[in-house]
């Protein structure tokens, strides 16, 4: 491999910027390699240059594996184990600085003592920068000179037996200017050093600054009511919420934080100490505690409860038994950590106090979270909700933030504000939310959903058979890429287009007794059936009368609504309205049976049914994509008229839907 195909003049020397680009490292790393004599510079007019040959030699040594240590560092930012979370801090410069710090660490050989020493040394350097203190080679050698702040730093390393030479060496070649910026830079470094999989297993996803600011902005009005206001983050981590609150309330005495991770707690204390020009170390230690919030006995003590509780944490069997006795949201089937924290926050907060939490979006609709929704709805009032999408770096889990007022009300939703992307609206009257909170709709969109249910409507619930595609248990063993004697075509989700199946690229010798799961009944071989994409953010249904087989990414629907033929049902389910309904009501990337069953289907006269079925037949018979687009547009307009939508409503629906996507 040769990376010297860059567009630069063919000189024999290369500057540090170009060398860092070629070697995929930053300039700080280049400077460190110079100090350790891995690279030898050519000094010209005070600027650092390198010979092209030397840079090529280093690159070849990295790629050949001769310099394994460098290769490990070079690829560090691309590994799944340790990552510097993007957007955690607002400043891109601070993010790049964190990358530089982490990139030059030998993370594979870093133990907990090394981690603590690095964090402690960085804390002292930040403090020194803020207070214009004299520079030191190694600040920890002078920790006793830092007063009460030094005490907080000493607590961080209290269990470290010795400072290893490798850690001193790292800072001896440290050429980065770590300044004070009133942010959680230490928390970011700690996150990056932690393994991503360890954070996931503990349900720990750290909150980006933009989310923190939005949430604190919603509660800050209460901070000015009284000097006696008490705030708690029951899962405070390294303290980013508490730091943001300090921007509005300079009084650190009112801040309380709890976390189970002792290192996070000590970093949180250090962060507060960094922010405050003067502080009493005993107060900070008393208020920021390492313990389990779920087992606190205090109730009704706090005016504001704010934070990002862990999601999907693992609990011991003993904890499960204990929490089942303490928390209503526990069920025999599951214990969800964020539900417990949300229920606990209600207990911790005073009457008329505010609760503001980051939660998974599934909280709003998933049946498994129905109990905690009922608890929240019975004891609080919704104040503000924001849809954030996938805000956590390297984590695919859409998030929301909710701000609740601790008060009983008969109108939980009324007057609440919602922010969803570029849309902001106030909830006026939402009905039928007992099975989930579909709050991502403006009032006009909600009115359109309600209009679609008026008149003669039928539903697939109780009027259809559903079947899963085949789960072989071992696709490599059972699925063929080329046909053989007696095999059958088998379709996967990506083979399904609107109205008709694409060309199958897989085959199978159908032997159901060998597979992990097959549908009961004879649904695969029904004379007529609908096949739909299971993993999809868009409704995509195809007609099948050839007894086609499907894998479990393509499921089966056999409707039997009296007087409504299958091709009419197919047209409705592929309409822009059905997609509009699905996206707004469920906002899911999985098409579930309950989603399909809830779509209202107009019960119309035979002439209208015949007209729609005739167009569907035309779509099925032609292979001209452009002609199918025209036919679909005509069909869709007819269907929207069946629901009674006016032109403005039709435009809104069609603009939300992807319309001709998946038309072939």
- Domain identity same for 100 and 39: no
Q: Which of these three, 162, 194, 226, is where a domain ends?
A: 194
Report the sign of the C-alpha dihedral through residues 581, 584, 588, 593, in that order.
Answer: negative
Tell me whether residue 661 is in a domain.
no
Q: What is the mean pLDDT of the chain?
A: 86
Domains held by the chain: number: 4
Q: Which of these three, 194, 221, 251, is where a domain ends?
A: 194
Residue 9, pLDDT score: 41
Q: Where are the beta strands (DSSP E) in 603-647?
A: none
- Domain identity same for 401 and 432: yes
- Domain identity same for 142 and 52: no
Say yes or no to pLDDT of 334 above 80: no
Secondary structure (DSSP) of 455-508: SSEE-STTSEEEEPPBB-S-HHHHEESS--TT-EEEE-GGGB-BBSB----EEE
The residue that leads in pLDDT, 224 or 361, is 361
**Terminal-to-terminal C-alpha distance of the chain:** 42
What residues contact residue 33 under an 8 Å CB cut-off, 6+ apart?
39, 58, 70
- Domain identity same for 610 and 470: yes
pLDDT in tens, 269-317: 999 999 998 999 999 999 999 999 999 887 889 999 999 999 888 888 8
pLDDT in tens, 215-241: 999 998 877 767 788 999 999 999 999
- Domain identity same for 258 and 374: yes
pLDDT in tens, 509-537: 999 999 999 988 889 999 999 999 999 98
Residue 7, pLDDT score: 39
Tell me whether residue 501 is in a domain.
yes
Say yes or no to pLDDT of 663 above 70: yes
- Domain identity same for 251 and 379: yes
Residue 200, pLDDT score: 45
Say yes or no to pLDDT of 434 above 70: no
- Domain identity same for 307 and 429: yes
Joined tokens for residue 530: 């609908």
Tell me whether residue 453 is in a domain.
no
Q: What phi-psi label fits residue 472: left (phi over 0), alpha (psi between -120 and 50 degrees) or beta?
A: alpha
- How far is residue 664's CA from residue 660's CA, in Å, rounded to a whole number? 9
Residue 34, pLDDT score: 80
Section 113-135 average pLDDT: 92
CATH number of the domain bearing residue 572: 3.90.220.10
- Domain identity same for 401 and 491: no
Stretch among 35-44, 524-533, 642-651 having the lowest mean pLDDT: 35-44
Tell me whether residue 28 is in a domain.
yes
Contact between residue 311 and residue 203 where contact means Cβ atoms under 8 Å apart = yes
Q: Where are the beta strands (DSSP E) in 271-348?
A: 288-290, 302-307
- Domain identity same for 186 and 218: no
Say yes or no to pLDDT of 433 above 90: no
Residue 436, pLDDT score: 81
Residue 78, pLDDT score: 33
Tell me whether residue 202 is in a domain.
no
pLDDT in tens, 87-99: 788 888 898 888 8
- How far is residue 110's CA from residue 189's CA, in Å, rounded to a whole number? 13
Section 123-150 average pLDDT: 92
Nearest in space to 630 (alpha carbons), one of 648, 618, 621: 618
Contact between residue 212 and residue 240 where contact means Cβ atoms under 8 Å apart = yes
Contact between residue 23 and residue 55 where contact means Cβ atoms under 8 Å apart = yes
Which of 169-173, 369-373, 658-662 has the largest mean confidence? 369-373
DSSP 663: B
Q: Which of these three, 74, 105, 122, is where a domain ends?
A: 74
Judging by DSSP bridges, how do beta strands 381-389 and 399-405 pair with one another?
A: antiparallel
DSSP 393: T
Tell me whether residue 482 is in a domain.
yes
- How far is residue 381's CA from residue 343's CA, in Å, rounded to a whole number? 14
Tell me whether residue 200 is in a domain.
no
Per-residue b or e along 155-187, where b marks 16 or more CB atoms closer than 10 Å to that residue's CB? bbbeebeebeeebeebbeebebebeebebbbbb
Dihedral Cα 218, 222, 223, 226, nearest 10 deg = 180
Tell me whether residue 85 is in a domain.
no
Residue 176 three-state SS = coil
Residue 26, pLDDT score: 66
- How far is residue 639's CA from residue 633's CA, in Å, rounded to a whole number? 10
- Domain identity same for 153 and 32: no
- Domain identity same for 508 and 639: yes
- How far is residue 522's CA from residue 512's CA, in Å, rounded to a whole number? 12
- Domain identity same for 520 and 622: yes
- How far is residue 350's CA from residue 300's CA, in Å, rounded to a whole number? 4
Domain that holds residue 41: 13-74
């Amino acid at each position: 491999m040769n990376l010297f195909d860059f567009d630069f003049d063919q000189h024999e020397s290369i500057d540090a910027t170009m060398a860092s680009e070629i070697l995929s490292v930053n300039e700080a790393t280049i400077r460190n390699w110079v100090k350790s004599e891995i690279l030898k510079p050519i000094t010209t007019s005070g600027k650092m240059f390198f010979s092209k040959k030397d840079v090529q030699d280093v690159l070849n040594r990295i790629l050949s594996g001769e310099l394994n240590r460098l290769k490990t560092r070079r690829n560090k930012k691309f590994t799944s184990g340790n990552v510097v979370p993007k957007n955690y801090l607002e400043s891109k410069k601070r993010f790049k600085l964190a990358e530089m710090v982490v990139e030059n660490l030998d993370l594979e050989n870093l133990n907990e003592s090394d981690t603590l020493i690095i964090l402690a040394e960085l804390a002292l350097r930040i403090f020194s920068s803020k207070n214009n203190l004299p520079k030191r080679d190694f600040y920890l050698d002078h920790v006793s000179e830092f007063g009460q702040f030094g005490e907080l730093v000493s607590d961080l390393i209290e269990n470290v037996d010795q400072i290893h030479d490798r850690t001193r060496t790292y800072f001896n070649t440290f050429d980065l200017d770590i300044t004070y910026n009133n942010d959680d830079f230490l928390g970011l470094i700690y996150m990056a050093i932690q393994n991503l999989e360890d954070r996931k297993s503990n349900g720990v996803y750290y909150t980006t600054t933009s989310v923190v600011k939005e949430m604190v902005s919603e509660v800050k009005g209460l901070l000015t009511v009284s000097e006696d206001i008490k705030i708690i983050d029951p899962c405070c981590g390294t303290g980013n919420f508490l730091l943001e609150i300090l921007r509005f309330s300079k009084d650190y005495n009112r801040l309380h934080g709890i976390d189970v991770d002792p290192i996070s707690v000590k970093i949180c204390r250090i962060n507060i100490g960094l922010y405050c020009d003067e502080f009493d170390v005993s107060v900070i230690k008393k208020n920021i505690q390492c313990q389990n919030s779920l087992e606190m006995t205090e109730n009704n003590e706090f005016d504001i409860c704010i934070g990002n509780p862990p999601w999907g944490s693992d609990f011991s069997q003993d904890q499960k038994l204990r929490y089942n006795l303490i928390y209503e949201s526990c069920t025999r089937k599951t214990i969800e950590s964020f539900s417990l924290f949300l229920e606990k926050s209600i207990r911790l907060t005073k009457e008329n106090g505010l609760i503001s939490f980051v939660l998974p979006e599934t909280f709003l609709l998933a049946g498994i979270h129905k109990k905690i929704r009922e608890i929240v709805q019975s004891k609080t009032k919704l104040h503000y909700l924001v849809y954030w999408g996938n805000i956590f770096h390297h984590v695919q889990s859409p998030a929301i933030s909710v701000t609740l007022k601790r008060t009983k009300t008969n109108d939980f939703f009324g007057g609440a504000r919602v922010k969803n992307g570029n849309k902001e609206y106030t909830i006026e009257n939402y009905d039928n939310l007992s099975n989930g909170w579909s709050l991502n709709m403006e009032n006009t969109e909600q009115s359109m959903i309600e209009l679609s249910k008026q008149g003669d409507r039928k539903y697939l619930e109780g009027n259809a058979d559903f079947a899963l595609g085949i789960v072989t248990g071992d696709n490599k063993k059972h699925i063929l890429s080329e046909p053989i004697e007696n095999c059958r075509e088998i379709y996967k989700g990506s083979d399904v287009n609107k109205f008709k199946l694409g060309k199958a690229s897989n085959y199978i010798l159908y032997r159901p007794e060998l597979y992990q799961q097959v549908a009961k009944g004879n649904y695969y071989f029904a004379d007529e059936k609908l096949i739909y994409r299971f993993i999809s953010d868009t409704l995509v249904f195809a007609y099948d009368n050839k007894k086609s087989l499907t894998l479990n990414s393509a499921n089966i629907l056999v409707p039997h609504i009296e007087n409504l033929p299958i091709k009419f049902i197919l047209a409705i389910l592929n309409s822009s309205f059905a997609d509009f309904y699905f996206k707004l009501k469920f906002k899911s990337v999985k098409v579930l049976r309950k989603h399909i069953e809830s779509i209202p289907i107009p019960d119309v006269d035979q002439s209208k049914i015949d007209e729609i079925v005739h167009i569907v037949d035309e779509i099925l018979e032609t292979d001209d994509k452009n002609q199918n687009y025209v036919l679909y547009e005509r069909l869709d307009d007819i269907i929207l008229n069946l629901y009674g939508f006016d032109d403005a409503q039709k435009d809104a629906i069609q603009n939300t839907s992807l319309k001709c996507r998946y038309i072939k």
